[in-house]
Amino acid sequence: MVPGMLSNLTTNFVGRLRSRDPAAWFELWETFGPILRAQLAKWGGGRVGPETVQDLSQETLAALSTSIDRHDPNKGARFSTWLLAIAKHTLSGEMDRRMALKRGAGKKPVELDETWMGKDGGSSPGRAYEDAVFRAKVEAALRQVERDTDFMDFTVYRMRVLDGVPGKDVAIQLGISEPTVSRRLSKIREQLRAAVSDTIEKYSFTREELEEASRKGLDPNPKKASDALFDEALADIYHAQTECKREEPVD
Protein backbone atom coordinates (compact mmCIF):
# COMPACT_ATOMS: atom_id res chain seq x y z
CA MET A 1 0.00 0.00 0.00
CA VAL A 2 1.34 3.38 -0.96
CA PRO A 3 2.00 5.52 2.09
CA GLY A 4 -0.78 7.96 2.52
CA MET A 5 -3.25 5.90 0.59
CA LEU A 6 -6.71 5.56 1.98
CA SER A 7 -7.61 2.42 3.83
CA ASN A 8 -10.76 0.58 2.84
CA LEU A 9 -12.58 1.87 5.86
CA THR A 10 -11.76 5.46 5.07
CA THR A 11 -12.61 4.94 1.46
CA ASN A 12 -15.95 3.57 2.52
CA PHE A 13 -16.62 6.51 4.76
CA VAL A 14 -15.67 8.97 2.06
CA GLY A 15 -17.83 6.91 -0.25
CA ARG A 16 -20.75 7.38 2.10
CA LEU A 17 -20.09 11.08 2.18
CA ARG A 18 -19.94 11.16 -1.58
CA SER A 19 -23.22 9.34 -1.87
CA ARG A 20 -24.67 12.01 0.43
CA ASP A 21 -25.49 9.54 3.18
CA PRO A 22 -27.10 11.81 5.79
CA ALA A 23 -25.93 9.57 8.64
CA ALA A 24 -22.31 9.91 7.54
CA TRP A 25 -22.60 13.66 7.32
CA PHE A 26 -24.23 13.84 10.72
CA GLU A 27 -21.45 11.69 12.13
CA LEU A 28 -18.89 14.06 10.70
CA TRP A 29 -20.79 17.02 12.09
CA GLU A 30 -21.22 15.48 15.52
CA THR A 31 -17.55 14.58 15.79
CA PHE A 32 -15.84 17.60 14.29
CA GLY A 33 -18.49 20.33 14.39
CA PRO A 34 -17.30 21.64 17.78
CA ILE A 35 -13.70 21.82 16.56
CA LEU A 36 -14.71 23.71 13.46
CA ARG A 37 -16.71 26.09 15.60
CA ALA A 38 -13.74 26.67 17.89
CA GLN A 39 -11.36 27.18 14.98
CA LEU A 40 -13.71 29.58 13.21
CA ALA A 41 -14.21 31.52 16.43
CA LYS A 42 -10.46 31.75 16.83
CA TRP A 43 -9.92 32.96 13.29
CA GLY A 44 -12.81 35.35 13.60
CA GLY A 45 -10.93 37.02 16.44
CA GLY A 46 -14.12 38.24 18.06
CA ARG A 47 -15.46 39.70 14.85
CA VAL A 48 -17.86 36.84 14.28
CA GLY A 49 -20.41 36.07 16.96
CA PRO A 50 -21.36 32.59 18.16
CA GLU A 51 -24.43 32.53 15.94
CA THR A 52 -22.36 33.24 12.85
CA VAL A 53 -19.76 30.71 13.91
CA GLN A 54 -22.52 28.15 14.18
CA ASP A 55 -23.78 28.99 10.72
CA LEU A 56 -20.30 29.00 9.27
CA SER A 57 -19.44 25.61 10.67
CA GLN A 58 -22.55 24.27 8.98
CA GLU A 59 -21.57 26.05 5.79
CA THR A 60 -18.19 24.41 6.06
CA LEU A 61 -19.79 21.02 5.91
CA ALA A 62 -21.91 22.17 3.00
CA ALA A 63 -18.74 23.24 1.21
CA LEU A 64 -17.23 19.89 2.07
CA SER A 65 -20.10 18.17 0.38
CA THR A 66 -19.28 19.92 -2.87
CA SER A 67 -15.55 19.39 -2.49
CA ILE A 68 -15.70 15.73 -1.57
CA ASP A 69 -16.43 14.69 -5.15
CA ARG A 70 -13.13 16.18 -6.26
CA HIS A 71 -11.13 14.79 -3.39
CA ASP A 72 -8.10 12.82 -4.54
CA PRO A 73 -6.89 10.47 -1.80
CA ASN A 74 -3.57 9.85 -3.49
CA LYS A 75 -2.27 13.34 -3.00
CA GLY A 76 -1.51 12.72 0.63
CA ALA A 77 -3.35 15.52 2.42
CA ARG A 78 -4.19 14.97 6.09
CA PHE A 79 -7.81 14.62 7.10
CA SER A 80 -7.42 17.49 9.55
CA THR A 81 -6.00 19.70 6.79
CA TRP A 82 -8.96 18.84 4.64
CA LEU A 83 -11.39 20.08 7.28
CA LEU A 84 -9.32 23.14 8.01
CA ALA A 85 -8.98 24.21 4.39
CA ILE A 86 -12.70 24.15 3.85
CA ALA A 87 -13.36 26.00 7.10
CA LYS A 88 -10.93 28.70 6.04
CA HIS A 89 -12.61 28.95 2.68
CA THR A 90 -16.00 29.36 4.35
CA LEU A 91 -14.75 32.04 6.68
CA SER A 92 -13.10 33.90 3.80
CA GLY A 93 -16.41 33.84 1.99
CA GLU A 94 -18.16 35.28 5.03
CA MET A 95 -15.57 38.02 5.38
CA ASP A 96 -15.85 38.81 1.68
CA ARG A 97 -19.60 39.06 2.03
CA ARG A 98 -19.26 41.40 4.97
CA MET A 99 -16.66 43.62 3.43
CA ALA A 100 -18.37 43.81 0.09
CA LEU A 101 -21.76 44.54 1.65
CA LYS A 102 -24.26 45.02 -1.13
CA ARG A 103 -21.75 45.98 -3.73
CA GLY A 104 -20.47 42.44 -4.00
CA ALA A 105 -23.23 41.59 -6.45
CA GLY A 106 -20.98 41.54 -9.44
CA LYS A 107 -17.96 40.30 -7.61
CA LYS A 108 -16.62 36.88 -8.29
CA PRO A 109 -17.03 34.76 -5.19
CA VAL A 110 -13.93 33.50 -3.44
CA GLU A 111 -12.55 30.41 -5.12
CA LEU A 112 -12.15 27.26 -3.12
CA ASP A 113 -8.43 26.79 -2.66
CA GLU A 114 -7.80 23.10 -3.15
CA THR A 115 -4.05 23.20 -2.97
CA TRP A 116 -4.43 21.47 0.37
CA MET A 117 -4.96 18.27 -1.56
CA GLY A 118 -1.24 18.24 -2.22
CA LYS A 119 0.98 17.04 0.58
CA ASP A 120 2.85 20.29 0.86
CA GLY A 121 0.09 22.56 -0.25
CA GLY A 122 -2.39 24.54 1.75
CA SER A 123 -2.10 25.96 5.18
CA SER A 124 -0.29 24.24 7.99
CA PRO A 125 -2.71 23.78 10.85
CA GLY A 126 -1.48 24.57 14.33
CA ARG A 127 -0.48 21.97 16.86
CA ALA A 128 -3.42 22.71 19.10
CA TYR A 129 -5.80 22.20 16.21
CA GLU A 130 -4.22 18.86 15.33
CA ASP A 131 -4.48 17.77 18.95
CA ALA A 132 -8.12 18.79 19.06
CA VAL A 133 -8.89 16.76 15.94
CA PHE A 134 -7.17 13.75 17.47
CA ARG A 135 -9.07 14.14 20.72
CA ALA A 136 -12.33 14.37 18.81
CA LYS A 137 -11.53 11.05 17.13
CA VAL A 138 -10.90 9.44 20.52
CA GLU A 139 -14.09 10.89 21.91
CA ALA A 140 -15.99 9.44 18.96
CA ALA A 141 -14.51 6.04 19.81
CA LEU A 142 -15.55 6.40 23.44
CA ARG A 143 -19.04 7.32 22.37
CA GLN A 144 -19.18 4.35 20.08
CA VAL A 145 -18.19 1.95 22.85
CA GLU A 146 -20.62 3.54 25.26
CA ARG A 147 -23.38 2.93 22.72
CA ASP A 148 -22.40 -0.63 21.93
CA THR A 149 -21.65 -2.04 25.37
CA ASP A 150 -23.64 -2.85 28.46
CA PHE A 151 -24.39 0.26 30.47
CA MET A 152 -23.13 -1.13 33.76
CA ASP A 153 -19.91 -2.40 32.18
CA PHE A 154 -19.20 1.02 30.74
CA THR A 155 -20.14 2.62 34.04
CA VAL A 156 -17.44 0.57 35.75
CA TYR A 157 -14.83 1.73 33.23
CA ARG A 158 -16.00 5.28 33.39
CA MET A 159 -15.90 5.46 37.17
CA ARG A 160 -12.56 3.68 37.47
CA VAL A 161 -10.65 5.23 34.56
CA LEU A 162 -12.32 8.46 33.56
CA ASP A 163 -13.46 9.55 37.03
CA GLY A 164 -10.43 8.05 38.77
CA VAL A 165 -12.42 6.25 41.49
CA PRO A 166 -10.37 3.48 43.19
CA GLY A 167 -11.37 -0.05 42.15
CA LYS A 168 -12.43 -0.92 45.67
CA ASP A 169 -14.81 2.04 45.85
CA VAL A 170 -16.27 1.20 42.47
CA ALA A 171 -17.00 -2.28 43.73
CA ILE A 172 -18.64 -0.94 46.89
CA GLN A 173 -20.72 1.61 44.99
CA LEU A 174 -22.04 -0.94 42.54
CA GLY A 175 -22.30 -3.82 44.98
CA ILE A 176 -19.97 -6.08 43.03
CA SER A 177 -16.64 -7.76 43.79
CA GLU A 178 -13.28 -6.29 42.86
CA PRO A 179 -12.44 -9.14 40.47
CA THR A 180 -15.70 -8.36 38.68
CA VAL A 181 -14.60 -4.76 38.39
CA SER A 182 -11.31 -5.92 36.85
CA ARG A 183 -13.05 -8.24 34.42
CA ARG A 184 -15.41 -5.50 33.26
CA LEU A 185 -12.53 -3.08 32.91
CA SER A 186 -10.66 -5.50 30.66
CA LYS A 187 -13.71 -6.12 28.58
CA ILE A 188 -14.34 -2.45 27.92
CA ARG A 189 -10.66 -1.69 27.40
CA GLU A 190 -10.48 -4.32 24.70
CA GLN A 191 -13.43 -2.82 22.92
CA LEU A 192 -12.00 0.64 23.30
CA ARG A 193 -8.73 -0.40 21.70
CA ALA A 194 -10.62 -1.70 18.70
CA ALA A 195 -12.89 1.33 18.53
CA VAL A 196 -10.02 3.80 18.76
CA SER A 197 -8.23 1.96 16.02
CA ASP A 198 -11.32 1.94 13.79
CA THR A 199 -12.15 5.57 14.41
CA ILE A 200 -8.62 6.78 13.80
CA GLU A 201 -8.58 4.79 10.60
CA LYS A 202 -11.92 6.16 9.52
CA TYR A 203 -10.90 9.77 9.92
CA SER A 204 -7.36 9.52 8.63
CA PHE A 205 -6.03 10.07 5.14
CA THR A 206 -2.31 9.58 5.74
CA ARG A 207 -0.02 7.03 7.32
CA GLU A 208 1.13 9.64 9.80
CA GLU A 209 -2.43 10.17 11.01
CA LEU A 210 -2.96 6.44 11.28
CA GLU A 211 0.02 6.10 13.58
CA GLU A 212 -1.01 8.96 15.79
CA ALA A 213 -2.83 6.72 18.27
CA SER A 214 0.26 4.64 18.99
CA ARG A 215 2.38 7.74 19.36
CA LYS A 216 -0.02 9.11 21.95
CA GLY A 217 -0.19 6.02 24.12
CA LEU A 218 -3.29 4.41 22.65
CA ASP A 219 -1.58 1.34 21.28
CA PRO A 220 -4.10 -0.83 19.44
CA ASN A 221 -2.09 -4.00 20.16
CA PRO A 222 -2.99 -5.31 23.60
CA LYS A 223 -0.09 -5.91 25.99
CA LYS A 224 -0.64 -6.56 29.63
CA ALA A 225 1.94 -4.00 30.61
CA SER A 226 0.42 -1.33 28.44
CA ASP A 227 -3.09 -1.54 29.93
CA ALA A 228 -2.36 1.05 32.57
CA LEU A 229 -0.69 3.32 30.03
CA PHE A 230 -3.64 2.97 27.70
CA ASP A 231 -6.11 3.88 30.46
CA GLU A 232 -3.99 6.78 31.56
CA ALA A 233 -3.61 8.15 28.03
CA LEU A 234 -7.31 7.77 27.37
CA ALA A 235 -8.27 9.53 30.59
CA ASP A 236 -5.86 12.38 29.81
CA ILE A 237 -7.30 12.82 26.35
CA TYR A 238 -10.85 12.67 27.66
CA HIS A 239 -10.20 15.31 30.31
CA ALA A 240 -8.37 17.56 27.88
CA GLN A 241 -11.26 17.24 25.48
CA THR A 242 -13.93 18.12 28.04
CA GLU A 243 -11.87 21.07 29.23
CA CYS A 244 -11.27 22.25 25.69
CA LYS A 245 -14.93 22.21 24.76
CA ARG A 246 -15.81 24.06 27.89
CA GLU A 247 -13.45 26.84 26.95
CA GLU A 248 -14.35 26.64 23.24
CA PRO A 249 -11.47 28.19 21.22
CA VAL A 250 -8.84 25.54 20.58
CA ASP A 251 -5.88 27.63 21.50
Partner 1 sequence: MTGSLLAFPFVILVWIAAIVSGIWLLVKLLAGIGWVFSRVFRGVGAFFTHVGTFLRDEVTDVFRVLGSALTALVFAPLITLSVAVGRWSAAQHYGNAMEREMIGLARGMYRLVLGNPARLLGLTHLTDGIEQRIPEAIARAPGPDKPGRATGTFEGYTVTGSLPGGGSGARIWLADASPEKVEQLSGAGFVAPRAVVIKSFALGDGSTLPQIVRESRALEAARKLGLVLEHELTGSRFHYVMPYVPGVDLGVETRRLHDTSGDRGLDDKSLAKALDHSTSLLAILHRFHSHGLWHKDVKPSNVIVGDAGVQLVDLGLLTPLASAMTLTTHGTEYFRDPELVRLAMRGVKVNEVDGAKFDVYSAGALLFSMLENSFPAHGSLSQITKKCPDALRFIVRRAMADIEHRYASAAEMLADLSFVRDARHAHKVKLAQLPSVAGTPKSADWIADLERQLSADMDLVAAELHAGAAGAAAGAAAGAGDDAGRRFLFKYEAGMGSKGNGNSYHAPPYKKSRSRGFLSVLGVLSVMIVGSAVALAALFTAGGPSHPVHDLASSHHDVGSLSAFPTSAPHTPPRLDDAVIRARTPGLLSADGDSRNASTAVIPVGNPPAPVPVATSTTNPLLGKAPVPAGHGRRVLVINDLSATGASVVGQKVETILQLLRGAGFAVLDEQNGGVGEDELVHLMASARSALGLYEPHDVDAGLLLRAWLAAESVTATEAAADAARDAGGAALVTEIAAPVDVVLWFGKSGGKVQYPYRVESLDERLMADLDKLVRHVNTQL
How many residues bind partner 1 (CB under 8 A)? The answer is 51
Region binding partner 1 by CB under 8 A among candidate stretches 53-61, 70-78, 179-187, 199-207: 53-61
Spatial contact of 111 and 43, defined as CB atoms under 8 Å apart: no
Q: Counting contacts by CB under 8 A, is residue 219 touching partner 1?
A: no
For residue 105, the 8-state DSSP code is T
**Sole binder of partner 1 in the list 175, 221, 223, 224 (CB under 8 A):** 175
Q: Counting contacts by CB under 8 A, is residue 207 touching partner 1?
A: no
Distance CA 231, CA 156 (A): 13
- List the one residue out of 107, 113, 27 whose CA is nearest residue 63: 113
Q: Which residues pair with 76 in a beta bridge?
A: 118
Query: Please, what is the Cα angle at 217 between 180 and 215, to 5 degrees?
Result: 155
Spatial contact of 18 and 229, defined as CB atoms under 8 Å apart: no
| Least Å from the CB of residue 52 to partner 1 | 8
151 versus 223: smaller Cβ distance to partner 1: 151
Q: Counting contacts by CB under 8 A, is residue 69 touching partner 1?
A: no
124 versus 242: smaller Cβ distance to partner 1: 242
- List the one residue out of 211, 212, 213, 208 whose CA is nearest residue 230: 213
Contacts (CB under 8 A) with partner 1, residues 130-159: 139, 142-143, 146-147, 150-152, 155, 158
SS3 30: helix
**Sole binder of partner 1 in the list 11, 12, 50, 208 (CB under 8 A):** 50
Q: Counting contacts by CB under 8 A, is residue 92 touching partner 1?
A: no
User: Phi and psi at residue 76, in whole multiples of 5°?
Assistant: 85, 20
* Separation of CA 83 from chain center: 10
Q: Counting contacts by CB under 8 A, is residue 57 touching partner 1?
A: no
Enclosing H/E stretch for 2: none
Interface residues with partner 1 (CB under 8 A) are 20, 22-23, 25-26, 29-30, 34, 45-47, 49-52, 54-55, 58-59, 61-62, 65-66, 99, 101-103, 109, 111, 139, 142-143, 146-147, 150-152, 155, 158, 162-163, 172-175, 238-239, 241-242, 245-246
